[in-house]
Every structure is written in C-alpha cells, then in structure tokens.
Structure 1
Amino acid sequence: MNAASHGFGVLETAGPVVVWVVVLTLVFLECALIIGLFLPGDSMLITAGIVLATHTTGGQQAWALSVGAMIAAIAGNQVGYVIGHRTGAKLVARRDGKYLNTANLHRVNGMLDRHGFWAVLVSRWIPWVRTLCPLVAGAAKMDHTKYTIASTLGAIVWAPVLLLLGFYCGTFLHRISWLMPVVIGVMVAVLVIGTILGIRHYYQEMAKPAEEVEVDEVEHEL
C-alpha cells in the first residue's frame, strides 16, 4: 500500500500551476478551435478537480479554477464565433470525417435554427456540438447578443459543475489512502492517452479531402 502511494506521489502532488495551465488551455481550445473536437474536455475537468483535492489549498484552488475555466470557455466561444462569422456562410468540412463532416455541420445548423438560444445553452453538454456550435453560429449569423448570453450561461454551469464534482469526489477518495493514488493514476493516464490519440485523430481528419458546406442563416428569436 505504501509502495503504491509513493509510486503515484508525483501525480498526487502535481503543482496547481500545472493543473491551471492544462485546464485553461484545453478548455479554451475545445471551445474555440476544431482541434477541440478531439480533446477530452469533460474528463479533464473532473480529473483536475480530483488532483486538486490532494492539495492543502485544494478548496480555494478548485473554486478559483472554476472561475478561470468559465472565463476560458467564454473566451473560446467568442473566438469560435468570430472565426465562423469571418468565414462566411460556407464552412469547410472533411469528406468521410468522423466529426467535422457535412452531416454534423447541418445538424448543428438545424439545431440553432429550430431552438436558437436553447440550442447554444444545451450544446455545452454535448462534446462535439460544444466545439462546432460557436463556428456554425458565427457562420449562420446568429444574433451575437443572444449567442453570447446563452454561451456564457452554459459556461457558468458546465465548467464549475464538472470541476467541483471532481474535487468533492476527490475529498472523499482522499480519506482512503490506497485508493486515491490509483484513481488519480488511472484518470491521468486515460486523459494523457486520450489527448494523444485525439491529436492524432485531428491530423488524420485534417488530411482528408476538404468540402465546402453552406449553412443557412439562423432566424430563431429565442
């Protein structure tokens, strides 16, 4: 048991600075750029919360990072919207792409057209839609004020809920000396492997033939 604890000591004592950098970077990328389609954002937030539970200042760090992650998500949403808006009505998909394909872009376009505000709000909890929504909303000329309010409310709920869920689960696990290192080790390993595979899949997707997809202007008022 002691050997296991020492073996995972590096993971348990990872500096909050490292956690902050990883969380803010991945949250921003997932909300702003296409590469975010392939990054494990949800599991990353939960893992960060669990890791912070091992620190003496974990409570303050978790709440502060929740605010930071919200800001990163809001900023990412705005960058994604601007990119889509400047691209115009024609977006570039990938033929036979897993996520960045014509069907998914039209699906998100249809959601925004039918449900507008609520589609943006709910999309926060659907990984691939979370990344495509800002891009499509900008290209479809969705009202920027409504989009900003909906995406901001979504970010306010999404990041803190997952990060604090991880933190409070971590405080419980921390009471079981042998279990905490194992859980952190497994989750960090899954996160690292998922990120590496995600980046690989991103380059594979981008290597596929490009095709233009024209999106319809969003007219939904709510």
Structure 2
Amino acid sequence: MTTLAALALGPAWLDPDQLIGAFGLVGVLVIVYAESGLLVGFFLPGDSLLFTTGLLVASGRLGGVPLWAVCALIVLAAVAGDQTGYLFGRKVGPALFTRPDSRLFRRENVERAHGFFAAYGRKSLVLARFVPVVRTFVPVIAGVSRMEYRTFVVFNVVGGVLWGAGVTLLGAALGRIGFVHRHIEALLVLIVVVSVLPIAVELLRARARRARRAGGTEGVPGSEAAGPLGGAARLGGGGARHPEEEP
C-alpha cells in the first residue's frame, strides 16, 4: 500500500482487500452491519469495502457467490444495522448527548449527526448512508428523536438499497475494466476523498454559523442553547420531530 493510500484508507488491517481476503463475505456483512448503526463501528471502511466487494465478485474472487445474492445480503445487513441503531437511540434517549468521551465514543460525532438529521429530516437516513461516521450515528439520532417507526423503516430500506446495492454494483461494473484493476488503490483513495467531502463542507458551514452567532448573539441570554447539545436536549420528553414529519 502506498503512503497516500495508507493515509486515506487507514491502517493495513482496515484495507478492504485484506479484510475481504481474511474474512470473506461474512466479514463484509458484519462490517456493514456494525458501521450502519453500532456506535463502535464508525471507523470501519464502508464505501471502499462495498466497491471492492463488487469488484471481487465481478472477477470471480469471492467464492463464486452470485452478484444478486451478495447485494441482497449487504442490503439486509445495512437495514438491520440501522434498525439496531434506531432501537438503541429510543432506549438511551437524550442521555446519549451527555455520555462521556471514550476511546471509541466522541460526543462531537453525535452532535454532527444530530445537525445532519436536523437539516435533512427523514431524507438524512438516505443521504447519511454516503457520509462516513454520520451514517453510523444518524439512525441512533432518529431513535432518540422518536421518529415514527413506519417512516423510519421506509427510509431505512431505501437508503440501504441505494447505498448497499448501489456501491457494490458500481464496483462490479467498473471491475470489468482493466484500467480499474491497474489503478485500484488510486480509485479507492478517490472514493474515500469524495465520501468525506460532505463532512468537510458541513464542518466549514458549522464554523461559519458559530462565527455568525458569536458576532450577532454574544451576550444574549440563552443563545448558547442554539448549538447541537441545546437542540438535543429538546429531543427529550415528548420527542420533538423535524418539521417534515409533522402531521
């Protein structure tokens, strides 16, 4: 692995090709499930793993399992992961926002996902699938906010299909092209860079919003409640909903 690939893809043990080689399709499904809704799975490779899985299926290097079966299993794992995150969020509620930081948990990840959920409402369950870290925490935030369960299931399935099957099929389609095989590391780095762009944009926008608040609301009582934790605190009790979800 080149230095650039190592920086983008993380340590060697997180390299998608090595993970699939060591654990096969079962490992892919476990990782997809964990990254989709378990708080400890946010650091796992997602897009690059699915792309590599599709590429290996196309080249016959995944035990001969047909592409349709691989896609179906990945979608099921993704939907089940979000389901687990949602149920966990409903159970822990706003207490998640006061949980102390640890090696595998950072409140800033929850706050970022809360901001994403507040901005996009139900659509965040689909859009977040394509954003690393955020895709792990958004279903939990949906549970904390007590999103209507039927609505959650619909958007959960749509997002699971578009992301799980879509990225895998893209890898399978491009995997038949010789150029892709010759430059697979560069392509995986590109996928990682593209996938983290929304986070970079959101961080810049959040910084700009904080600067505007600091300049326009400094000294105004209660203005500090406008931040992610202030919004999270209002998710308790009756379970506030995003405007899109009002009857």
> How far did 1:128 drift?
1.1
Which runs of structure 2 are paired with 1:67-216 in the superposition (5 Å)? 67-91=72-96, 92-95=98-101, 100-102=106-108, 104-173=109-178, 180=181, 183=184, 214=233, 216=235
Q: Is the 8 A contact 2:79 2:157 kept in 1?
A: yes
Give the TM-score of the pair, scaled to structure 1.
0.68
Structure 2 CA distance for aligned equivalents of residues 55 and 37 of structure 1? 29
Aligned to 1:219: 241
Q: Is the 8 A contact 1:113 1:218 kept in 2?
A: no
1:136-177: CA deviation from partner (whole Å, max 9, x where unpaired): 11112121111111111011110111111111111122xx7x
Structure 2 CA distance for aligned equivalents of residues 25 and 65 of structure 1? 13
Larger RCO, structures 1/2 (Cα 8 Å, 6+ apart): 1
Give the TM-score of the pair, scaled to structure 2.
0.62
Amino acid of the residue matched to residue 162 of structure 1? V
Amino acid of the residue matched to residue 126 of structure 1? V
Q: Is the 8 A contact 1:90 1:139 kept in 2?
A: no
Aligned to 1:198: none
Give the 4+ runs in structure 1 shifted more than 4 A. 56-60, 92-99
Q: Is the 8 A contact 2:36 2:85 kept in 1?
A: yes
Segments of structure 2 that go 5 or more residues without pairing to the other structure are: 1-16, 193-231
Amino acid of the residue matched to residue 138 of structure 1? G
Aligned to 1:205: none
How big is the alpha-carbon RMSD for the aligned residues of Structure 1 and Structure 2?
3.6
Identical residues among aligned pairs (%): 30
1:40–1:27: structure 2 CA closer, same or farther, 3 Å change rule? Answer: same
Structure 1 CA distance for aligned equivalents of residues 62 and 56 of structure 2? 11
Q: Is the 8 A contact 1:53 1:171 kept in 2?
A: yes
Segments of structure 1 that go 5 or more residues without pairing to the other structure are: 1-10, 192-212
Point out the structure with the larger strand share.
1
| SS of aligned partner of 1:90 | helix
